[in-house]
Chain A
């Protein structure tokens, strides 16, 4: 483009006001610059030097533009278009850089997805299968919820990746080789990116479905653990009751060996009761909540520790008092166990 017109572009492109006004301003400045250049040519300068001199005398384009904008206002859309055009020019010059970046980015995404999928299939899916085989995740519950396709999907995924990984990788490599060899289109880079993008999306979909299948199956089947834990919890409560009931007569007879044995049994049963979902299995829709039962159990453990200490020191009075406190603290747990058993 003519340097004079390029200069006028820089000066006039963001001036506000209606188009006829902007055209007039541009025309007026153009006439001035032509006059000034003609004067310099007449003084002996070359065409190029005359125009350069005229532009230099007129001022830097951003200064003139700023003053004109102060008079006529600022055209916001022109600034947006100007910025977009400059961005386009700069990005077109760096086209190869963008294309390389996109290829590398997608390749990294695909590699990470493949790695994660391998990890899922090799380490997580077998554990999931074992949980199903052990009955922790109950297929009947999944079937009832219409979610049996999830473990089937995981099974098929493991089978396909286990048996056909080599075929899949080789097939993809052959197709890629054919593409690079045969395709001569000027859009080859875009086509490659499209295929890579499609592969990345498909792998992501497989990962999402696989992880979702495991999480959803687990969430659906885990409530079954509650009923499984309840008899265990009730058994521990019964053991605690029996042992604690045996401690008191042993203390009264000062049979410290029997008292120690029974207190230890109660303590062990109480410890088992606090592990896993046992306590939570004793809760229902009505209070106490699992948290309240845990608090009571901790308090009962403290009092039982005091009982064992008193028995060890052969202090019958302290042992009896601690037993009474234990019973008070443990009462809500016992009530919850008796209620849940009904």
Chain B
């Protein structure tokens, strides 16, 4: 999939995934990979700047947790502001999809 398309949707994907439960970075990347059947070919390193930006904006909050194995993981959860932002972004995304689909349908004919 075009990585440029992914860039614009990464924050929406992150907020959406975190609306399910708190997750750490690798878990988010693995879930995106699993849920999209590997359709997103992205640099995993891009995930963390996006996560940190969302955290700076107060849409998500991160917290370190130490596992029994001794590994430390930073779990991110959605904040109330983030939940509202997710609703807005989801609505905007749906509107965008509808608009794009209408254009495609007119151009190509109904499927």
What residues make up the interface of A, taking CB atoms closer than 8 Å to B?
11, 24-25, 27-29, 31-32, 34-36, 39, 57-60, 63-64, 67-68, 70-72
Contacts and interface: CB of A to CB of B under 8 A. Distances in A.
A57 B52 contact: no
Contacts of B29: 32
Contacts of A57: 43-44
A67 B45 contact: yes
B43 A59 contact: yes
Nearest to A58: B45
Main secondary structure of the interface of A (DSSP, over half): helix
B49 interface: yes
Of A34, A35, A39, the most chain B CB neighbours within 10 A belong to: A35
B89 interface: no
Q: Report, as a range, how many residues of chain B touch the other chain.
A: 10 to 19
B48 A68 contact: yes
Interface in B32-57: 43-46, 48-49, 52-53, 56
Interface of B: 24-26, 29-30, 43-46, 48-49, 52-53, 56, 64, 71-74
Nearest to A65: B45
Nearest to A72: B52
B45 A63 contact: yes
Contacts of B64: 24
A27 B44 contact: no
Contact of A32 (B25, B49, B53, B56): B25
29 contacts: A11-B45, A24-B64, A25-B48, A25-B52, A27-B74, A31-B24, A31-B26, A31-B72, A31-B74, A32-B25, A34-B71, A36-B44, A39-B30, A57-B43, A58-B43, A58-B44, A59-B43, A63-B45, A64-B45, A64-B46, A64-B49, A67-B46, A67-B49, A68-B48, A68-B52, A70-B49, A71-B49, A71-B52, A72-B52
